Amino acid sequence: MSCSTNLDLKAYVVGELARGERAVVEDHVRGCHSCREELDRLNMTRAALATLEDEEIPRRIAFVSDRVFEPRWWQTMWRSGPVMGFASAALLAAAILVHGFERPIVSVTKAPAVDTAQIEQKVEARINAKLDAAVAKAVSDSQAKQAAEFAQVLNATETRFERQRQADMATVQQAADYYQRQLGRLVVASNAEFKQ
Amino acid sequence: MIFREVEDRDLIAKARRGHVEAYNVLVSRWEKRVFNYLLRLVGEREDALDLSQDVFLKAYQNLKKLDDPAKFPAWLFRIAHNEAYSLLRKNKPEGEITAEPRMDDASGGLFPIETTLAVRSALERLSQDHREAVLLKIYQGFKFEEMAEILACPVSTVKSRLYTALDLLKETLAPVNSGGSQ
């Protein structure tokens, strides 16, 4: 190459020159035979290299998600400053809204005038009712208790009377037997005297 | 620039929050480019595939370290570059990282097979650094600054490597007597 210019033809061929620099090279090679020849050879080399096409990859490369090593949702959120900030702000806003809607309504109302006589009557009536009920219950309990005791005493008396009656009957029977035997002896004796 | 309904930066943001499916979409967009870059760098299809998987796994694990999502492509290819060189260092003694990729069974294009074969042969003859500069610039379309990030070297070094590689390729693919001048 006999041209003494300092143009970077290789940079031109590989696309490293700016538009203005490219124009300078193109202007120069129109009038410079040696540079044009050099540029043609470089372009031919570039074109020849372009004939070598890319191969398809024999096997696709892919990665499988392994949940053991993946961060949990809360870890991901925890590590993310913006997400944490947004979540905090959202939580605060929600708390304010809930508080606003759920807050108990405080109202000031005038208390009605107190009727003490009426209250006393009501209280007295309630007390009386309770007393009546208690007395009735006590009377009822007492009557039931007395009836039970009476029945028990009656039962015991009847039992005792029955025993006494049976004893008396036995005594009467013994007396009757005795007089029967005595009567028998008298009859025998009288008959004997009569025979004599 | 191809318009995408969901930008890479959105997928990166989701993947950073643990959305594996978002990352899978991102992988599907980039796997072919990464695979071909690695294939032309290391030369073995299985190695390139294994490296691609490692690259995307490391990228996922380190996604939170990516400061600027706009730099994802260069960042991803930086990982790919490191993974490729780790393998090449493992396979070659220290200081002899001159892998010669075997691209003889690569699929052909619509261009004459002679041209494709000539390109493969010319690329194979380049040194690792020169070939990588061509791959990143010609096939992946990175800017010099991005290439400097991927290769962890100054832009001047990147340009030097690429220009040397182009001169070498030019001698093979566009010789002086081949009718390059009209």
Residue A90 falls within a domain, yes or no? yes
CB-side neighbour CA atoms (13 Å) of B76? 27
- Under a CB-based contact definition with an 8 Å cutoff, are residues B151 and B132 in contact? yes
- The complex scores an ipTM of 0.81
pLDDT per residue as tens digits for the range A67-109: 555 566 666 667 677 777 887 888 888 888 888 777 665 555 5
Question: Do the Cβ atoms of A44 and B174 come within 8 Å?
Answer: yes
pLDDT per residue as tens digits for the range B112-148: 678 888 999 999 999 999 999 999 999 999 999 999 9
- Which pair of tokens denotes residue B66? 């990516």
Q: Do A67 and A45 share a structural domain?
A: no
Architecture in CATH of B8-174: Orthogonal Bundle (1.10)
Interface membership of B137 toward A (CB under 8 Å): yes
Sign of the torsion angle spanned by Cα atoms A80, B22, B48, B108? negative
Could you please report the per-residue DSSP string of A35-74? HHHHHHHHHHHHHHHTTSPPPPPSS-------TTTSPPHH
* pTM given for the model: 0.59
- Under a CB-based contact definition with an 8 Å cutoff, are residues A63 and B24 in contact? yes
Q: Do A92 and A68 share a structural domain?
A: yes
- Mark which residues 15-44 of B lie under 8 Å from A by CB: 17-18, 20-21, 23-24, 27-28, 31-33, 35-36, 39
Q: Do A65 and A45 share a structural domain?
A: no
For A3, residues 6+ apart whose C-beta sits below 8 A from its C-beta are: A32, A34, A35
- Under a CB-based contact definition with an 8 Å cutoff, are residues B118 and B60 in contact? no
Interface membership of B56 toward A (CB under 8 Å): yes
Print the domain residue range for A25: 9-49
Residue A82 falls within a domain, yes or no? yes
> Based on the structure, what is the number of domains in chain A?
2
Identify the band that residue B73 occupies on the pLDDT scale cut at 50, 70 and 90. very high
| Residue reference for tokens 């191809």 | B2
Amino acid found at B59: A
Partner residue facing A51 (CB), from B31, B116, B174: B116
| Cβ-based interface (< 8 Å): residues of A facing B | 10-11, 13-14, 16, 33, 36-37, 40-42, 44-46, 48-65, 70-71, 76, 80
What does the alpha-carbon distance between residue B42 and residue B54 come to, in Å, rounded to a whole number?
Answer: 14
What does the alpha-carbon distance between residue A98 and residue A92 come to, in Å, rounded to a whole number?
Answer: 10
Q: Do A65 and A100 share a structural domain?
A: yes
